[in-house]
Chains A and B, each alone.
Chain A
Amino acid sequence: MIAKLCPFPLSPEGEKRIDHLLNRYPDKRSALLQVLHVVQDEHGGYLDMDCIKYVARLFGLPPAEVYSVASFYTMYNLRPVGKYLIQVCTNISCSVNGAEEIVAHIEKRLGIKRGETTPDGKFTLITVECLGSCGTPPAMMVNKEYHEQLTPEKVDKVLDACE
């Protein structure tokens, strides 16, 4: 049922995780944020309207209600993102330790501005709020991985390793 309703091919692990989450709380709705995380992971890192409608059916909620929740939280991408989502922290402890230089370096290297995706769909660059890496600044996340104490050279190494 979970896989059958899904508008895109869901992996067996994804199906298992959703099934587990839907039965994990005294009130099913509590699983909404967690299921959105799984669906986004399974759907190439973003949620389109078909994903929203799918989740709405799983929970028996109107799609507008699910969209309202998804749009509240910054980690749900409601538009396509690159294969690698680069998130650079520019909050205070990173900004006083060179975060803007890191952003400028990535912009130059990839030929895009913050908020944009490279034409080949490989990288999306955004700036984000505090990642909790204030003691090891500047910091960024590439997809789910943290990279800290960044220098332009270190950034290059990380991006070189992205295939």
Chain B
Amino acid sequence: MGEMKVLLKNVHKPNSHLLSTYKEGGGYETLKAALKMEPSQIVEEVKKSGLRGRGGAGFPTGLKWSFVPKTDAPKYLVCNADEGEPGTFKDRVIIEKDPHLLLEGIAISCYAIGAHRAYIYIRGEYEFGAQVLENAIREAEEDGCLGDRPMGHDYPIYITVHRGAGAYVCGEETALLDSLEGRRGHPRIRPPFPASKGLYQSPTVINNVETLSSVVDIIARGGDWYASLGTEKSKGTKLFSISGHVQKPGVYELVMGTPFKELIFEIAGGMRPGRNLKAVIPGGSSTPMLTADEIDIPLDYESLMEAGSMLGSGAVIVLDDTTCIVKETYRLAQFYAHESCGQCTPCREGTHWMVQILKRIVNGQGREEDLDLLLHIGDTLGGNCLCPLGDAALGPVISSVKKFRDEYLEHIKNKRCPIGG
């Protein structure tokens, strides 16, 4: 338990982004070995490892790969680097500081699923990261690590960096595919699932940056080694990006099952002097808030689920007692209303109305029945859309109304914020 550097083992080296640095540490040797294995063996190792999607959903990676039909049709791998969930900044570290780890992970995964082409869909704002990746691809191709004959093997692998243009919804995998095809990022109706009909209607696997980067050490050290880390159902290490009111915000890599309190109070330096913990958003802005007395739990998928929230992307947002919960909930509701693609009525209208209601509470014009109205919107919006964006919008709103009802009532009764927020 505690900190362990698998994904972050290179990021503190000088010039960690260069191929020469990466190769000194044994870089691309795992790809070389992988290309001598049977693709099915790689899928088996990843299944054995227990790796689950690190973008937020936590779906078993090996299982996702095994859905790809074994036909001769062209297949694609898409790396989801559209890191946009507020509080999440973990993939940026790998992209900027250890791009070759990601590229090696992508190459191994391409081989495992039978793809020759991979696209890295990176959020438009990460232009620096996109340049780092493009330079890294050029270096790797020139050196023969990628391209026509990666590591001397007759299995061409081409990786292309594709920039987004500012739309959170494109982090949703089918919206991402539409965006990658040059359209508005509208989530698609499923089925068909991307594994059978994805990019250009071809079988496609979409995995997060951290997921694909994890594949390298899983193949190098074996699925059993990875599965020996963590808890019964949450295996390996996970990146946590912690921000908000802690003294040492940043990205930390922890073995799954590390106590939540250890992350906040020891690793991230705890609260500022004289301040107390009020609430934690544990896995990115869409995950339900936990109060200060709900975090005596380990950090793994199941424990967070049991606590009524989610591990999500591992983006921990810490709020101390100077925070007005109503104001911050209003801010997050605005985010989701802004990012709703407008395709499904419950999400388009529901996110908008939640903003209107929260706005009047913040402005001292709220009514007591507004709180039940917010909960009612949750019932009509939740689970009624093509993608999870609407449900994501509910995470902070519903949890804060339920857990901080008194603070809402104070805003309504006194017509102002008790904290001065």
B125 close to A30 (CB less than 8 A): no
Chain A minimum-CB-distance residue to B183: A69
A45 within 8 A of B: no
Is B181's CB under 8 angstroms from A29's CB?
Answer: yes
C-beta contact mask, A7-29 vs B, less than 8 Å → 1, else 0? 00000000000000000111101
> Which one of B74, B182, B243, B331 lies within 8 Å of A29 (CB-CB)?
B182
Contact A132 B83 (CB under 8 A): yes
Interface residue B162 (Cβ < 8 Å from any Cβ of A): yes
CB of B163 within 8 A of CB of A134, answer no
10 residue pairs A–B, Cβ–Cβ below 8 Å:
A24-B160, A26-B117, A37-B165, A72-B185, A73-B166, A74-B167, A90-B331, A92-B317, A137-B249, A144-B127
Q: Is B159's CB within 8 Å of the partner chain A?
A: no
Interface residues of B in 69-92 (CB under 8 A from A): 74, 83-89, 92
Interchain nearest-CB distance for A107 vs B (Å): 18
Residue B260 lies at the interface, judged by CB distance under 8 Å to chain A: no
Q: Are A131 and B125 in contact (CB under 8 A)?
A: yes
User: Measured between alpha carbons, how far is A151 from B86 in the docked complex, in Å?
Assistant: 21
Given contact pairs A72-B185, A96-B323, A135-B243, a sample of 6 additional A-B residue pairs in the complex whose CB atoms are under 8 Å apart? A73-B164, A75-B125, A91-B335, A92-B87, A96-B328, A129-B335
User: Are A91 and B184 interface neighbours, CB within 8 A?
Assistant: no
Nearest residue in A to B89 (C-beta to C-beta)?
Answer: A132
Which residue from B162, B328, B331 sits with its C-beta under 8 Å from A34?
A: B162
Contact call A134/B86, Cβ cutoff below 8 A: yes
Kindly state whether residue B126 has any CB partner on chain A within 8 Å: yes
Q: How many A-B residue pairs have CB under 8 A?
A: 131
0/1 string, A71-91, CB within 8 A of B gives 1: 011111000000000000011
Query: Which residue on A lies nearest to B167, using beta carbons?
Result: A73
Interface 0/1 of B367-397, CB less than 8 Å to A: 0000000000000000000000000000000
In Å, the complex CA distance between A69 and B178 comes to 11
A112 interfacial by beta-carbon distance below 8 Å: no
Q: Closest residue of chain B to A89, judged by CB?
A: B86
How big is the B interface, by class?
A: 35 or more
B250 to chain A: which residues have CB within 8 Å? 135
Determine whether the beta carbon of A134 is less than 8 Å from that of B88: yes
Chain A contact residues: helix, strand, loop or mixed: loop
- Judge whether B88 and A132 touch: CB under 8 Å: yes
Q: Which of A24, A69, A93 contacts B87 (CB 8 A)?
A: A93
* Across-interface contacts of A132 in B (CB, < 8 A): 83-84, 88-89, 92, 123, 125-126
Question: In the bound complex, do residue B163 and residue A34 qualify as a contact, i.e. CB atoms below 8 Å apart?
Answer: yes
- Complex: how many Å from CA A108 to CA B276? 33
**In the complex, B251 has a CB within 8 A of chain A:** yes
Q: Which residues of A contact B74 (CB under 8 A)?
A: 26
CA distance A20 to B314 in the complex (A): 37
Measured in the bound complex, the distance between the Cα atoms of B243 and A25 in whole Å is 38
B166 in contact with A74 (CB, 8 Å): yes
B244/A26 in contact, CB under 8 A: no
**Among all A-B residue pairs, the 3 with the closest Cβ atoms:** A32-B182, A73-B165, A74-B166
The residue on A at minimum CB distance from B285 is A92
Bound CA–CA A132/B92 (angstroms): 8
B167–A37 contact, CB under 8 A?
Answer: no
Is B200 interfacial (CB 8 A cutoff)? yes
- Chain A residue contacts of B331, Cβ below 8 A: 90-92, 95
User: Does B332 lie within 8 Å of A135, measured CB to CB?
Assistant: no
Cβ A30 vs Cβ B180 within 8 A = yes
Query: In whole Å, how far is A111's beta carbon from the nearest beta carbon of chain B?
Result: 26
Is A33 a contact of B164 with CB atoms below 8 Å? yes
CB distance from A69 to the nearest CB of B (A): 6
Taken residue by residue from 143 to 160, chain A's Cβ proximity to chain B (1 for < 8 Å, 0 otherwise) reads as 010100000000000000
B249 touches A75 (CB 8 A): no
**Is B259 among interface residues, defined by CB-CB distance under 8 A?**
no
**Residue on B with the closest CB to A132?**
B89
| B181 adjacent to A27 (CB under 8 Å) | yes
Query: A3 contacts the other chain (Cβ, under 8 Å)?
Result: no
Q: Which of B162, B242, B285 is the one whose CB lies under 8 Å from A135?
A: B242
A31 to B161, CA, bound (A): 11
How far apart are A93's CB and chain B's nearest CB, in angstroms?
Answer: 4
In the bound complex, what is the Cα–Cα distance between A95 and B89 (angstroms)?
16
B301 to chain A, nearest CB (A): 22
Q: Which residue of A lies closest to B160 (CB)?
A: A24
In the assembled complex, the CB of A90 is this many whole angstroms from the nearest CB of chain B, namely 7
Give, as a whole number of angstroms, the nearest-CB distance from B280 to chain A: 12
Docked pose: A102 CA to B261 CA in angstroms:
31
Q: Which residues of A contact B319 (CB under 8 A)?
A: 96
CA A29 – CA B323 in complex, angstroms?
Answer: 46
User: Which residues of B lie under 8 Å from residue A93 when comparing CB positions?
Assistant: 86-87, 243-244, 249, 317
Q: How far is the CA of A131 from the CA of B88 in the complex (A)?
A: 9
Report the separation of the CA atoms of residues A153 and B199 in the bound assembly, to the nearest whole angstrom: 47
Q: Contacts of A136 on B, CB cut-off 8 Å?
A: 249
Question: Which residues on the B side are within 8 Å of A27 (C-beta)?
Answer: 181-182, 200
**CB within 8 Å for A91 and B86 given contacts A31-B182, A34-B162:** yes
Contacts of A37 in B (CB 8 A): 124, 163, 165
Q: Which residue of B lies closest to A68 (CB)?
A: B184
Shortest distance in angstroms between A134's beta carbon and chain B's nearest beta carbon?
4
B128 contacts the other chain (CB 8 A)? yes
Cβ of A118 under 8 Å from chain B:
no
Question: Are A135 and B249 interface neighbours, CB within 8 A?
Answer: yes
Which residues of chain A have C-beta atoms less than 8 A from B124's C-beta?
37, 73, 75
